[in-house]
Amino acid sequence: MSGGGGGGGTSTTVQSIPDELKPLASTYAQKAIGLSGQGFTPYTNQRFADLNSTQDLGIQAIQDRAAGGSPVMTQANETLMGLMGGGTNPYLDSMVNKAQQNVVGNYNNATMGSGSFGNAGLQEQLAKGLGDTASTMYGNAYNTDQANKLSALGMAQNYGNQAYTDAGQLLKAGQLQQDQAQQGLDFGYQQYQDAQNLPYKQLAAMSGVFGSNLGSTSTTTQSGGGK
């Protein structure tokens, strides 16, 4: 309502809704009142995917390996302990003896052919040759044993971790299955949210009609005063 000037009159402007939109306005008001009194509706379906059987197998395999060990690792430990205990080639002594016999045989052939049998210098060379042969062969065998020990140490770790590696692959496969199941649960939850929001979207669509002033009219009534 607005006041006039010098004549003392007043004018009143009334905004009205066209008759054809009045049912929509009534429906809008009822829907808004209904939504304002609507309580919270919880989502009662499952929201997150459970662990699946493949993941259960992977977890169980890790628990079993950690608590009970591995037969493969037990055997590897036994082999490793045997190597670390200083085990040597059981044929090594016979191999050294045979090599020394060859040295003796060469000595005998040399002395008999030259008539120098019993020569002290040659006997000293023989003793040295026998000692060198034994030292070389035993030394090489020791080095080989040490290399085997180091190799076994590296292999044992791989044996021990293989069970965990297999269990890890089960967990990866199970994760793929769980992710797929989670997508289905997420879709169901999104459908629920869409259903919950639908009345508000409808209400917003209805209010848009009035916000655009579609078909609205206004009437101004003036009442004039005396001069």
Distances (CA, A) of 16 to 2, 13, 65, 182, 211: 17, 10, 81, 53, 13
The strand order across the sheet containing 2-3 reads: 2-3, 10-16, 217-223
Give the pLDDT of residue 37: 85
Query: pLDDT tens for residues 43-73?
Result: 999 999 999 999 999 999 999 988 888 777 7
Write down the pTM of the prediction: 0.54
Which residues of the chain carry a pLDDT beneath 70? 1-9, 13-15, 80, 83-96, 98-131, 135, 138-139, 142, 146, 152-153, 211-227
Residue in this structure with the two tokens 């508000």, named with its chain if needed: 200
Sign of CA dihedral 43, 46, 49, 55: positive
Biggest alpha carbon–alpha carbon distance for the chain: 170
Give the pLDDT of residue 4: 47
Give the pLDDT of residue 84: 63
Give the pLDDT of residue 51: 94
Give the pLDDT of residue 223: 61
Mean pLDDT of the chain: 76
- For the chain, the first-to-last Cα distance in angstroms comes to 21
d(CA 92, CA 86): 13
